[in-house]
Structure 1
Amino acid sequence: MEVKRLAVLPGHQNPIFTIETSQKPHLFFTGGNDLGVVEWSLKTMNVVKVLIPVKSSVYALHAPSGKNIIVVGERSGKLSVFDFNEQKVVAILTKHEKPIFDIKSSNVLNQIYAASEDGILSIWSMKDYSLIYSFKVSDQPLRTIAISPDEKHMALGGKDNIIRIYDMDDFSLIQEMEGHTLPVFSLQFSPDGKLLFSGSRDAQLKIWETDNYQLKQNIPAHMYAINDIAFHPTLPFFATASMDKSIKIWGTDDLKLYKKIDLTKTESHSKSVNKLAWSTFNDSLISVSDDKMVMVWAVTF
């Protein structure tokens, strides 16, 4: 495996917390401590525009597949829905009074989900953006949401170190998994739905079997917190991003470490790597960091 840095994209003046690929493969979006969501082009490797001005830090972005919207989650607790056709914010969703840390959606159920520092999961209609339901998951902040490929199970993780699995039909609790010793920052189901991967502030990567949600394997993957886990869209590889300033690429099938990207190997991020996204446009990996930089990586398998 070979990794080459294709581009460094400056523009943010403050730490970048999140990244989301557009429904158009050559575009992606970033948000952070700047007062705006930025749109970028992989064709020009440059800023397109500031898509949406915001009044507080952006911690979460989500562009549902097959839809023409992006949902923005702010530190204030506000959720904004930007419609690409109308080129404006068409709805502001107000339920939370504390930061939104993650947003996901279900095309099957036509719903949007938001996890907040208040420990509440909110469920919104993607049809009219009305609040369908909300419930208290934990007395501690929620940090991450993962939805199984068949959209039947949702995994939630947060500051209380517990991973909770819910049935998405009625949001009944299926199971609680305790194993991490510090807050759970990242959750992702494998593309085939057979495994759930979890990353924590304890620097451990845990792999759980989804037929019974028992622990299959633990990997001491990083030196510090694992901020994100991102699966390649077509190949059996995934990447992890860490507070230790590194990105690592692993095999999904063999769980082998294939590549480490950090300052000891190449010109890379100088601070915490917060979020990752794979692009189907040029098969690249995009990373964002507290160092205010967006980096685009060409990965040859």
Structure 2
Amino acid sequence: MLKHFHTLNGHQNPIYALANAPEKNTFFSAGNDKGVVKWSLETMGFVKVLVPVQSSVYALHCFGNLLFIAQRSGSILVFNLDEEKVIATLSFHQKGVFDLKTISHKNELISTGEDGMLAVWSLADFSLLYHFKVIPQTVRVIALSKDQKQMALGGKDGIIRIYNSEDYSLLHQLNSHTLPITSLQYAPTGDYLISGSRDAQLKIWSLPDYELINSIAAHMFSIYAIAFHPTQPYYATCSQDKGIKIWGSQDFRLYKILSLEKNTEGHSHSINKLIWSTDGAYLISTGDDRQVMVWKFN
């Protein structure tokens, strides 16, 4: 199903962020280094340092020909991939920005992080359109529903808040996790939301009412990412416990564990981020061991 294919070396410090590039078979990584790195899945090698950064990068997000780079300093760099230069710096957050998403039909970027604020930016001129306080603590993660009409925010208080993304009104508060929310994803099928937490649990919330329908003791420690395969009925999770797990997205069964402790190839430290390549041929993982690992799906 999934086996280790290649390990990409080059980062000198922990890596926190991954994003697929618009260009086929390429992706970006960044973390506690001084730059965002571009990699090729065709050559399985380093391409170049895309842009230098002044502080740690906590999130990367591509939209069209733009790469948004969220930093520990609170600033967000807007990098034009065609022009290969930074075209704007978004300054509002007073602390680290942990997640970014775009609401394409509104032409808006949303950002959140350690200051507990949600900021809404215009993609037309990068002006700040709106902002509000979600909680006094960190908001770690954002997820958008399939139609982008609803937005889920995961907070340090262990509560998932669901907002209407048209007017940012609060619709639901989901209370089941006992520790901070660290990962959120809506299923590509549009029928449920899945959440992961420092409590090592996965929770499945059915739509449209967000009823809790399943709780899974998924990992030993914090679940830092959930990634749905682009075409097949599977999703992957990764954790501070150094393991990657592959689950059925319809039956929620565990199909595969990738971990040094299970005598497979694996990471030696916390795994912070996972993405599938856009064609679904590879799973890419990274974390505190400074390695970018590529896993082949078949």
TM-score by length of 1: 0.97
Equivalent residue in structure 1 for 2:123, among 126, 133, 144: 126
User: Deviations 1:79-130 (Å, cap 9, x if unpaired)?
Assistant: 0000011110000000001000001111111111111100001010111111
**In structure 2, what is the equivalent of residue 73 of structure 1?**
70
Query: Which piece of structure 1 moves more, 144-153 or 277-286?
Result: 277-286
**In structure 1, what is the equivalent of residue 296 of structure 2?**
298
**In structure 1, what is the equivalent of residue 183 of structure 2?**
186
**In structure 2, what is the equivalent of residue 107 of structure 1?**
104
- C-alpha distance in 2 between matches for 1:171 and 1:248: 34
- C-alpha distance in 1 between matches for 2:192 and 2:229: 15
Asked if residue 259 in structure 1 is aligned to residue 245 in structure 2, the reply is no
Aligned length: 297
Equivalent residue in structure 2 for 1:225, among 222, 225, 229: 222
> How much has 1:282 moved relative to structure 2?
6.2
Contact preservation (8 Å) 2:18, 2:29: yes
SS at match of 2:151: strand
Asked if residue 160 in structure 1 is aligned to residue 187 in structure 2, the reply is no
User: Deviations 1:24-66 (Å, cap 9, x if unpaired)?
Assistant: 23110001100111110101111111111001000000002xx
Aligned-residue CA RMSD (Å): 0.8
User: Deviations 1:226-275 (Å, cap 9, x if unpaired)?
Assistant: 00000001111100010000000000000000000000231210001110
**In structure 2, what is the equivalent of residue 22 of structure 1?**
21
- C-alpha distance in 2 between matches for 1:86 and 1:130: 21
**In structure 1, what is the equivalent of residue 42 of structure 2?**
43
User: Deviations 1:153-195 (Å, cap 9, x if unpaired)?
Assistant: 0000021100000001100000001110000000000001110
Q: Which runs of 4+ in 1 moved over 2 A?
A: none
Contact preservation (8 Å) 2:16, 2:286: yes
Asked if residue 203 in structure 1 is aligned to residue 188 in structure 2, the reply is no
Asked if residue 173 in structure 1 is aligned to residue 175 in structure 2, the reply is no
- C-alpha distance in 2 between matches for 1:192 and 1:25: 24
Q: Which amino acid aligns with 1:119?
A: G
Asked if residue 138 in structure 1 is aligned to residue 97 in structure 2, the reply is no
Counting only pairs closer than 5 Å after superposition, residues 53-72 of structure 1 correspond to structure 2 as: 53-64=52-63, 67-72=64-69
Equivalent residue in structure 1 for 2:243, among 226, 243, 246: 246
Q: Structure 2 vs 1, CA of residues 194 and 262 (structure 1 numbering), >3 Å: closer, same or farther?
A: same
- C-alpha distance in 2 between matches for 1:57 and 1:275: 15
Q: Which amino acid aligns with 2:243?
A: S
Asked if residue 283 in structure 1 is aligned to residue 281 in structure 2, the reply is yes
SS at match of 1:63: strand
> How much has 1:280 moved relative to structure 2?
2.8
User: Deviations 1:121-162 (Å, cap 9, x if unpaired)?
Assistant: 101011111111010000110000000010100000021100
- C-alpha distance in 2 between matches for 1:265 and 1:188: 29
- C-alpha distance in 2 between matches for 1:11 and 1:173: 43
Consecutive unaligned residues in structure 1, runs of 5 or more: none
Contact preservation (8 Å) 2:181, 2:198: yes
**In structure 2, what is the equivalent of residue 8 of structure 1?**
7
Contact preservation (8 Å) 2:159, 2:177: yes
**In structure 2, what is the equivalent of residue 274 of structure 1?**
272
Consecutive unaligned residues in structure 2, runs of 5 or more: none
Overall identity of the aligned pairs, in %: 53
- C-alpha distance in 1 between matches for 2:154 and 2:277: 26
SS at match of 1:92: strand
- C-alpha distance in 1 between matches for 2:186 and 2:2: 25
> How much has 1:281 moved relative to structure 2?
4.3
Contact preservation (8 Å) 2:34, 2:55: yes
